[in-house]
Structure formats: C-alpha cells, structure tokens
Amino acid sequence: MPSAILIAAALDTKAEEADFLRRELERAGCRVVMVDIGMKDPPRIKPNITREEVLRFAGLGSVKEYPKLLEGMKEGLVKLSLDLYAKGELAGILGLGGGVGTYIATAAMRALPFGLPKFMLSTVMSRDIAEFVDTSDICMMHCVVDLAGLNDLSRRLLSEAAWAIAGMANNAEPLRLTGQPKVGVSMFGYTTPCVNELKPRLNSKGFQAVAFHANGIGGSTMEEFVKQGLLDAVIDVTLHELLDSMYGGFCGNVKPNRLKEAGQRGIPLIVAPGGLDCIVLKELRSELKSRPHFKKDFRFVIRSSEEDLLTLSKLIAERLNNARGPTRFLVPLKGWSEVDSEKTGFYSRRLIELFVEELRKRLSPKIPIVEVEAHINEPFFAEALVEELEKVFSR
C-alpha cells in the first residue's frame, strides 16, 4: 500500500475543513488517511480511522471522563502514527485545530522521526508554542481565522496548508545519510566565530558539521538527534543554556537531558565552557546591577559570578561523569565568548582558574581537562577541538 498523508482532526467540529483538506491533498496527488480525534458529538463525515480505533491503540474502550479521554486520544494517535510509520504507510502528518486539536496532533508529530513532513494548522499559534514543537521539526501555520466552517479566507489557508505538506511529501529531498561521520556542534551568537573556524577544519578531516543553536531548546534538540542515532560525535562548545537556566534567562529553556545523551550513547564528546561567562536576560534585575553588564539590544548581558561557576562545575561534572564514551573538556583560558574580554569588563582569569580547579576536583580522572592558552573564538582553539576529537574518534 502506498504511503499517505494522515489528517488528524476532530470530525465533530472540524469536518468541513478536514474534508476540504482531503480534497486538496487528493488534487495534489496524495493518498489520504483521515483520522477522527473528536471527543464530543458524532463525526459529520466518515473517517478512515475512527475515534474508537484511535482509543484502542491506547488500550481504552468507552471513556466518559474527559481528562482520561483527552490523554487516551493523544496516546492513541501517537501509537497509531508510529504504527503506520513502521509499516512504511506514512508520508506525512497534517493536523488542524485549536488548543485541544493542536495538543493532540503535535504529540503524534513529536513522536515521529526527523525528516517526516509534519504540518500543524493551528488557531493558537500566536501563543507560546514551545511545548507543542519542542525538539521536533514541526512546521506550524497560524490559522488567523477560526475553524468554524468554510469561507473565502479559510479556504485559502486550508489550501496553503494542504499544498505545503503535499510539496514536502512529494517533492522534498529525501533524507539520505551518507557515510561521512556527522558531528553535532552547539553555538550561539557569541561563539559563532568559533564554530565558523570549526566547520572547515572538520570538513577537511572528513567530518560533516551539524550546528545547533544553543538558544534553550537548540541544545536539547542536539541531544535528541544523538538519541536518534543521527550524530556520530559531539563538540559541545556552547554550554550557555545551563547558565541561563539558573536565572530563567533568554536561552534557559533547557530539558533535563542536556549534556547527557552523547555520554549515554557512548559516542565521542568534546566539551568547552562557551557562554558560561554571561547571562542573557530581557530585564536587568536589581540584584545583578552590581555585576559587569551592558544592554545588547532588547536584552541585557550580565557577567556570571564565582558562585554561578561553582554551581556549574558541579552540574557539568555530574553529567559528564556518567559518560560511557571518550570525553574531553577543553578550557580556553583567554575568554569564553565574544563578550568575555577586558574591554567589556567581563574577562576574569581568576574566575576561569577557579572553575578549572573546581571542575578538576569533581570530574572523573578518566576525563582529561585540557587548558588552551587561547580565546574560544581564536582559530587555535578550533584546531585544538578538532585535534582532541581525532584522538578519540574511531573510523
């Protein structure tokens, strides 16, 4: 059976829209599997997979309690989607809905692997959608008119959604994993020069660099890619998210798996303290005003303290000590980010040496700490990172 686009929609409240999506997808040459995730009134069009069948995937029969029904529908759609994918019958997934529909459909999308087309047409996209997207490659479109029947405006939005995922499923370059080893590299603005120096050096040694923006969820996305087996090694040069997470900072939305997956999987892991010198906040708190700081744009950048670095040394050591693969920690002694300089007042050799001393006390003897007399963004440090990776990477 050829693979199909799964439409996840509540067919008691979104039947007209779902049927329009089906017709548009069929016009685009796609096979469609319509899945009903409605939970109130009977469906107004016939689905390919009923809500009762979805619930059976969650091991449930007739359910009356709404909280249990909602979680059952979510779990059932996740398991159904994974089942279709495992059978090679899923070309993509398209969801439409408000808060509940988005909650259910994106759960299934997050469970599916990277590269499978995932498209969510949602009326709640103007809110914080981090919990819906998380570390997945979901494409979300804001449905600016409510899904309450067809009209000239809603038809246009629905048609765009249908043809968008049809294009992804029918015409996108398929995911082809070459034999070239892929190295995950973490970066943010203040360590970008380091990564720009790293990439050509990795390429020249036969590696393929895959960069992740360490903006809170980006580092956790890299961890997820490690978990999925998509990366062969990691150069985690930007740990800034860990510091921001202590202050609820701009890049502080980290998941508990940060700095763990490479170690658990046993792949080579090279780590550096990029960005641990600076906290990034939208507002400058009164208790931080005595520290070196400046306003970058709409954000404030504040120097980390001795106490911060002691806390971080403990956290980093705890996570790295569980690593089952070869692990190295490289410390650039002349600064940890673009702003870590004497010009900004951020640079402190004393704090760097204190961090190294504390980390050495806590880190397992099997994990070398390599001190490099360079700034993190200097070419020499990039060379040191690649050199350490080559020492431990088995081809």
Q: For the segment 229-255, what is each residue's pLDDT rounded down to a tens digit?
A: 999 999 999 999 999 999 999 998 899
Are 356 and 332 spatial neighbours (Cβ–Cβ below 8 Å)?
no
User: What is the overall mean pLDDT for the chain?
Assistant: 94
pLDDT band, residue 343 (cuts 50/70/90)? confident
**Extents of the domains making up the chain:** 4-171, 182-392
C-alpha to C-alpha distances, 80 to 54, 95, 391, nearest whole angstrom: 7, 14, 44
Structure confidence at residue 2 (pLDDT): 64
C-alpha to C-alpha distances, 352 to 273, 308, 310, 341, nearest whole angstrom: 10, 12, 11, 12
Mean pLDDT score, 269-292:
96
Any bridge partners for residue 49, and if so which? Answer: 35
CATH topology of domain 182-392: Rossmann fold (3.40.50)
Residue pLDDT, tens place only, 149-200:
899 999 999 999 999 999 999 987 777 888 899 999 999 999 999 999 999 9
* Rounded CA separation 309/350 (Å): 12
pTM for this entry: 0.85
Residue pLDDT, tens place only, 52-101:
999 999 999 888 899 999 999 999 999 999 999 999 999 999 999 999 99
DSSP 142-178: E--S-SSS--HHHHHHHHHHHHHHHHHHHHSPP----
What is the CA angle 351-355-356, rounded to 5?
120
Q: Do domains 4-171 and 182-392 have the same CATH topology?
A: yes
Are 325 and 263 spatial neighbours (Cβ–Cβ below 8 Å)?
yes
4-171 is a CATH 3.40.50.12020 domain: yes
Are 150 and 21 spatial neighbours (Cβ–Cβ below 8 Å)?
no
Question: Coil, strand or helix: which one is 93?
Answer: strand
Pairing state of beta strands 32-36 and 4-9?
Answer: parallel
* Rounded CA separation 101/12 (Å): 12
Question: What stretches of 259-326 adopt beta strand conformation (E)?
Answer: 269-274, 278-281, 293-295, 300-303
The neighbour count for residue 12, using CB atoms within 10 Å, is 17
End-to-end alpha carbon distance in the chain? 39
Pairing state of beta strands 269-274 and 327-332?
Answer: parallel
